[in-house]
Each structure stands twice: as structure tokens, then as C-alpha cells.
Amino acid sequence: MKRLPFVVLILILSLTACSLATRKPEQPSTQPPTLAELERMTARFAPTRLEVNLSRLSTGDRKALAKLIEAAHVFDDIFLTQVWSGNHALLTKLKEDKTPLGRARLHYFWINKGPWSELDENAAFLSDVPAKKLAGANFYPEDMSKEEFEAWVKTLPEENQEAVRGFFTVIRRAPAGKLSAVPYSQEYADQLLRAAALLREAAALTENPSLKKFLTLRAEAFLSNDYYASDLAWMDLDAPLDITIGPYETYNDEILGYKAAFEAYINLRDDAETAKLKVFATHLQEIENHLPIEPQYRNPKLGALAPIRVVNEVFSAGDGNHGVQTAAYNLPNDERVVQEKGSKRVMLRNMQQAKFGSVLIPISQWVLAKEAQAEVNFDSFFTHILAHELTHGIGPQRIRVGERETSARQELKELYGTIEEAKADSTGLFMLAYLMDHGKYPGLRQQDVEAAKRRLYTTFLASSFRSLRFGINEAHGRGMALQVNYLLDKGAFTLQPDGTFGVDFAVMDAAVRDLTRDLLMLEARGDYAGAKRMLDQLATLRPEVKGALAKLKDIPTDIEPIFVTANELAPPAAGLALAPSP
Ligand code: ZN
């Protein structure tokens, strides 16, 4: 799939790696979980209130927001259908069961948007449903194989093949056995008609021209099944209400990765963070010019940055709200739009904050020395995520090896992802320390620099355990193990006699600089053998780290969002699916 590596990457970066952490199902598949077992499974998602301050919204936007939340609820409805044909009937049945076990089943169903537990390799937690989530979800006939699909597509005229393989059709089988493609606008006609009407109402209420345009075109797309023009309008969207609504990601189609699931993110733009991001971005060339590598490896003229938006989530629905919560996304997926306008990264700040409070703070209480715990703070955490994203754009990329023009990615091959993730973490720290030291960090007085660095480095130490918790089988975990061991070996991270960790601030700046240099030089030289050596030595879980990780097993994996602001503005209609409030 086109975007999988990037999305997996930001999801993990943003505390959502948990879906990759596969636990064994907690009971044999023949017996559905008992009430106690179900409660334990549910407790892996800490209920966390998501509130957003609406005071800066205009009256028109506030009314539009209520309409958009209502439209998003429709997408929960469509998404349930897309996941499984039996979902709605099952949900109706679950709602009737008022016993404690029935309530727990309904609650966990709603978290997963189906009868399969995402944290347990999608194993069923109810009886009388398929033992595993279906690979083709409800996008294809349940009895269709990939081979049958491919063979069928070959028989079609070329102009029809595109729609059949496209994002926005489902494949159905006629009683005689023949396959056919049905456009979403037809398959989900009732719901999309309703969503389109709500989007038009919202478009009439908002004063913002770019939002008006996007909503109007999106409403048309729901009915015409042609999303191109509205995807372009989404790239131009610049409004206090930052809305993403439509069929987007294809992860639920595990047969072919073609079919898009409906989702909605109803967000408010975060103007303060967006301004901070702008300041960082204006200093990026200066950071590049001061990277701790020889000048010949620096890039004298950086290219344009992909746009990044920082927002706060009021409500999410459908594919945007099940299992482990999305903390950032990168859209659109339509390559024609990406060619023309690039893509946009949206970072959900309050969602990151919710995860930080419910997951990272408890982690820090186990793994950090007592005096270090007070230094862990969300602002440092989120700022480092922004710096990580920005520094993916600096450092050696196009390189020269001997006479050859090549790229760091090509030369480091399968090791590139791990080295590049570690580089973005480390260079992100380097960048923030540089800005602090040079009086260029927004709103920071020189006398507060030392304290700000203490918070930055300690928060990074705590968050490294959050990444390591998901193992070292993928780029982020491996890259983090490399960094932690490097910094331990330099004495910058320290191990206390009681098994907790701390930071030696006297050596941390220099150690980060060294680490940044070593990683950048692997990329600058396209040094595959060097990268392999470094990973073999350092990308391991040492006993002291394993010991710390073992203490974290009862800490929640992720959060279950309670949409406080959204529920006040637009309570879900009685007919729509609604989980019991925890
Ligand atoms: Zn990254």
C-alpha cells in the first residue's frame, strides 16, 4: 500500500504503536471471555476525556461544528457496515442485553467497532461470529479469493478496471455467481445523502471560504462518487474548523488494499502550536547549516516543506475511531492529488496529550528516578514530536558514493528506516537544544534554558520506554533501543541502583551531538556496513531495560476517548450506535 510505511511510522511515533503489539488472546477461541476477562481486556484502553475550548469560534462556525459532528456520526454507521455485514444486527442484539456481561460486551464491541479484538490479533471475543476478522471485510463477497478477483478483472475492458480496483467501489456477487463493482454512492446511498445534506448545512453556516468550498465539494462527491475536486479543496483548507471527512484509508481491505473506509476527524486548528511550528520551520536551513557534520555533507538549499497542521480533535468517527487511536495522519491517498498539490500532515495535539497523560505519565512513574519524574511534561513531548517530523526533512538524502549519485535510502537498504527514525529523534533533540542555546526558541528566556533542557531530555527518556515497550522488531523500537544504549554507554542516561533511569545533564548535550553526528554520517556516506555494525551492537534490549519494561505490563496500552465537547454540542441520535459511558 502506498502510504503504509509512513502512516505506521507516525502512528507509532505518536504513541499508537500498540496495534503492532500482538498479545496472545486471553482465552481459548472456543470460549468467549468471561466478564472478568472482558473487563481486563477493556482496561487496556483508559477512558480519557477529550475536551476542546470553543471560545474562539464564531457563532456560525460553532453551529457548523454541530452539523459536522452529526455528519461524522453517520460515518460510524457506514463504517460498521464496511467492517462486517453482520455488525448492525449484532449491535442491536448487544444493546438489548442489560446484564453486566452484556454491557461489557457492548462496550468492547464499540471500542473495536466489531466483535474482534484488535489488540489480540483480531480474535473474536463473542461467540457465533467468525473466529477472526474477515480479510476482505465487507468490501468483497466473503467467498471471493484474491485469485478470483484478479482473474475477473482481466476479463474487463481497461476503462472498467480502474473503478473495480478503485478506492470507492465494493465488489458484490450476483445470485448467478458473477462479480460486479458497486459505487459507494449507491451502496451507502441513504447514509451519504444524509451526510451530504449535513455538510451543505454546515457550508451555509461557516463564514470561512475555504471550508465552505471543501464542504460543498465533499457533499457533491458523496453523491457523484468522484472525490478528486474535493480532495484538492481539502489541501487548500485553511480554517478554524479543520475537517477531514470521507472514505480514505485502505487498511481494512487486507485482501488487496484497494478499498477505502469512511472516517471523520472533526478538529479545531491549534493556532498557538501552528505558530510555533512556523518559527521552527523558518530556522530549519540554519539548523542544517549547523549540523554536526562536515560542511560538504550539508545541504545549502533545502526544498519546500510538506505542510503540517496542528489541531485539536473534537470528535472522530468510523475508521478514525476504533482500537488504538490515531494521533496523526497524512492524506490524501489519491496519487493524482498528491502529484498536483502534495499531501498534508495533521497532528492531533489533544489526542497526543490524552495518551501522554494516560500512558506515558504512568510509564514514567515506574521507570524514572523519583526526582526525574517531575520533569516529564507534555509540552516537551509534543515539541519533540514536531521537531522529529521537521528533521526528517534535513540531513543527507541525495548523496554521492564514489562517482555514483545515489540516496541514503538506497544505500542503507532495509536498515534505512531504523537509522532514519533514530536520526529524526536525535536530530530533533539537537535542533531544540540549538534553538534554546541561541535564543531562538519561541518564548524561552535565556535563564530558563537549563530547566527547559532538563524537561526535554527527561521527557525523551520516559518516552523511549513507551517505544521500547512495543519491541524492537520494527524501525521505531529498534531505532529507540539504539539511542538508549548509545546514551547509556556515554553516561548521558544513567541507571540507578533501584533499577530506575535518569539523565546526566552535564554530558547529555555532547552525547546527543555525537549520536546525531554518527547517524548523519552513516547516511552521508551511505555506509551500510557501518549501520549494520551499529545496529548489531546497540539495537538490543539489555537486561536492565528489560527489567524496567517488565514493570509496565498493567499500564494501559491506549485510551478510549470520551468526546465531552462533541457530546455537549451534538449528542448522538438515539437510533445510532452508542457505547455506555464508562
Ligand atoms: Zn519519524
Give 77-112 pLDDT, tens digit per residue. 999 999 999 999 999 999 999 999 999 999 999 999
523 CA to centre of ligand 1 in angstroms: 15
The residue with cell 520533569 is 375
432 CA to centre of ligand 1 in angstroms: 16
The CA distance from 60 to 233, in Å, is 20
- The band of 257, judged by pLDDT with boundaries at 50, 70 and 90, is very high
Please state the separation of Cα 215 from the chain's center in Å: 24
The answer to whether 579 and 80 have CB atoms below 8 angstroms apart is no
324 CA to centre of ligand 1 in angstroms: 18
392 CA to centre of ligand 1 in angstroms: 7
76 CA to centre of ligand 1 in angstroms: 30
The answer to whether 261 and 247 have CB atoms below 8 angstroms apart is yes
The CA distance from 48 to 29, in Å, is 30
* 405 strand-pairing partners: 400
50 CA to centre of ligand 1 in angstroms: 25
pLDDT, mean over the chain: 91
**Residue 476 scores a pLDDT above 70:** yes
185 CA to centre of ligand 1 in angstroms: 36
Question: Among 350, 382, 270, which Cα is nearest to 565's?
Answer: 350
Q: What is the pLDDT of residue 574?
A: 53
**Residue 12 scores a pLDDT above 70:** no
**Residue 6 scores a pLDDT above 80:** no
What lies within 8 Å, CB to CB, of 193 at 6+ separation is 222, 223
**pLDDT for 566-581, tens place per residue?**
999 998 865 444 444 4
570 CA to centre of ligand 1 in angstroms: 36
**pLDDT for 266-316, tens place per residue?**
999 999 998 899 899 999 999 999 999 999 999 999 888 888 999 999 999
Q: What is the pLDDT of residue 15?
A: 40
**Roughly how many angstroms between the first and final C-alpha of the chain, as a whole number?**
36
| Residues at Cβ < 5 Å from ligand 1 ion | 424
Helix (H), strand (E) at residue 311: strand 308-318
Segment 106-134 shows an average pLDDT of 95
58 CA to centre of ligand 1 in angstroms: 36
Instruction: Report in angstroms the alpha-carbon separations of 175 from 84, 163, 315, 403.
Output: 20, 22, 40, 63
451 CA to centre of ligand 1 in angstroms: 26
CA angle centred on 225, ends 221 and 231, rounded to 5°: 50
- The band of 332, judged by pLDDT with boundaries at 50, 70 and 90, is very high
The residue with cell 531505532 is 479
The CA distance from 481 to 467, in Å, is 9
Segment 17-30 shows an average pLDDT of 43
- The band of 559, judged by pLDDT with boundaries at 50, 70 and 90, is very high
180 CA to centre of ligand 1 in angstroms: 40
* 244 strand-pairing partners: 265
Angle between the 449-468 and 505-525 helix axes, to the nearest 10 degrees? Answer: 60
Whole-model pTM over 0.85:
yes
- Residue 368 phi, psi (nearest 5): -100, 150
